[in-house]
Amino acid sequence: MRKISIILFFMVIGVFLGCPTEELECTDSNNFVNLNVLTTDNVDSIHFFLNKKQVCHSNIGVFHNILICEDSSAKGYLSAIMADDAPDECDTPNKKLIWKGFHCFIGNSSDHVDIDSSILSLEIFSSAGSSMINTSQVILGGRHINIIPETDTTKWFGYDQNPIRPYFDEFNTPALSMRMGCNNNYCMAALPMTQKEICRDK
């Protein structure tokens, strides 16, 4: 059931993706952005800001913690798990925690965020305290944007195919993703959203 729930989370992310019907309201995917911070560091939580406005908290966007584990039975692939549902899922004899992920999906009209004119910043919380990461990167809609500590880039960009099974678009072939540069020891890379529209119930 956990595998089913994480698949639905990434495919749907609070909305329905697919062809329009009378019951669905569809919006161009260029109005949305999917932000993922991926780290091997011991990070507890991350706050996302666009133009200094916090997003993916309260009723603005969708936020979720993700654990990405190495599973000895998965033939070299990694598995993604919702941390809130199974915080100890990676701590078993057959599984090892490889990455921590912090996911932010934003762009619904109710979010009142103009994606294409926004500068991204992050507040990172760990046992050592909190630190603010300011970037000069203008966020563009219609993309999955993965944000990785510079110390982890060799590992992340070393994946020559999607490392996660089941398959998630936002982690597709990191080695071929479009590099967006680095700021304050964090690097960004983008992949296009494959869906032309994102639909949800009217």
**Mean confidence (pLDDT) of the chain:** 83
Q: Do residues 98 and 131 lie in contact, with contact meaning Cβ atoms separated by under 8 Å?
A: no
pLDDT 10s digits, 91-124? 888 888 899 999 999 998 889 888 887 899 999 9
| Structure-token match 């678009």, residue found | 169
Contacts of residue 29, defined as CB under 8 A and 6 or more positions apart, other chains included, come to 141, 142, 193, 195, 196, 197, 198
For the chain, the structural domain boundaries read 29-196
Contacts made by residues 127-131, CB under 8 angstroms, sequence distance 24+: 127/42, 127/44
* Interval 59-86: pLDDT, tens: 999 999 988 888 777 676 788 877 777 7
Is 12's pLDDT higher than 50? no
* pLDDT (0 to 100) of residue 22: 61
For residue 4, pLDDT over 50 is answered with: no
pLDDT surpasses 50 at 183: yes
Share of the chain above pLDDT 90, in %: 41
User: Is-above-0.85 flag for pTM?
Assistant: no
Buried b / exposed e along 77-113 (16+ C-beta atoms within 10 A): ebbbbbbeeeeebbeeeebeebbbbbbbbbbbeebeb
